[in-house]
């Protein structure tokens, strides 16, 4: 199984590396990093000043070379009526997306002793693992430590771990 990371816009080397190592550590997969892509035309909604998550998924499906392809972007994403999303994927789909835009708030409120840079990277890793989990057919998990727990805010992201819980793990093996 190959997962191809598709950067859209200006994505730092640290973010690409964090995404790649997280995917390799959680899933039995190879990871490639594609060339940077420009924002898909028509993705921008000027009424919301945000970008359509679905357009980024389509771009990942179109340009990715993997069985699974995940777009990563610094731009703010929306999906339907939700004010924003950290990411989006379709169950058992081949494309997905994560936005780092709202993961970069500086602090975790003292939840850990980590630096802002480490907290940001941890959030990126968790959201990447989460969205790829959906493409493996995993739905949201009630265990708030499991990476497949739904996290509407960074608070929930910070509480959960990077790994699948035992029940989710059994579903994909």
- 29 labelled binding-site residue: no
The nearest distance, CB 113 to Zn ion, in angstroms, is: 26
Contacts with Zn ion, residue ranges (CB under 5 A): 141, 143, 146, 148, 165, 168
127, 131, 139, 156: which is the annotated catalytic residue? 131
> Strand 68-73 relative to strand 50-52: parallel, antiparallel, unpaired?
unpaired
Shortest separation between residue 37's beta carbon and Zn ion, angstroms: 23
Q: Which residues pair with 98 in a beta bridge?
A: 72, 87
In total, the chain counts a number of residues equal to 173
Choose between 37 and 149: whose C-beta lies nearer to Zn ion.
Answer: 149
- Shortest reach from residue 103's CB to Zn ion, in Å: 14
Q: Which is nearer to Zn ion, 44 or 79 (CB)?
A: 79
- Does 14 qualify as catalytic in the annotation? no
Could you tell me if 125 and 157 are in contact, meaning their C-beta atoms sit under 8 angstroms apart?
A: no
Distance between start and end Cα atoms, the chain: 13
The residues facing 70 across adjacent strands are: 5, 96
Residue 138: phi, psi to the nearest 5?
A: -80, 135
Ligand-binding site membership of 75 (annotated): no
Q: How many CB atoms lie within 10 A of CB 2?
A: 13
Which C-beta is closer to Zn ion: that of 37 or that of 158? 158
Residue 16 structure tokens: 């690409």
Q: Is 141 annotated as a binding residue?
A: yes
Provide the annotated binding site.
130, 134, 140-141, 146, 165, 168
Provide the annotated binding site for Zn(2+).
130, 134, 140-141, 146, 165, 168
Catalytic residue positions, numbered:
131
């Amino acid at each position: 199984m190959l997962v191809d990371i598709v950067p859209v816009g200006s994505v730092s080397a640290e973010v690409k590396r964090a995404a790649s190592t997280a995917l390799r550590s959680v899933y039995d997969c190879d990871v490639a990093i594609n060339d940077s892509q420009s924002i898909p035309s028509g993705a921008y909604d000027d009424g919301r000043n945000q970008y359509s998550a679905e357009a980024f998924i389509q771009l990942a499906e179109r340009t990715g070379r993997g069985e699974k392809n995940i777009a990563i972007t610094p731009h703010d994403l929306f999906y339907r009526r939700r004010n924003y999303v950290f990411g989006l994927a379709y169950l058992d789909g081949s494309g997905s997306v994560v936005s780092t835009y709202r993961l970069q708030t500086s602090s975790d409120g003292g939840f850990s002793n980590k630096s802002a840079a480490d907290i940001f990277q941890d959030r990126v890793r968790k959201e990447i693992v989460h969205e790829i989990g959906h493409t493996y057919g995993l739905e949201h998990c009630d265990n708030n430590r499991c990476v497949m727990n739904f996290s509407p805010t960074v608070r929930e992201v910070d509480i959960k771990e990077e790994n699948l819980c035992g029940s989710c793990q059994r579903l994909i093996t």
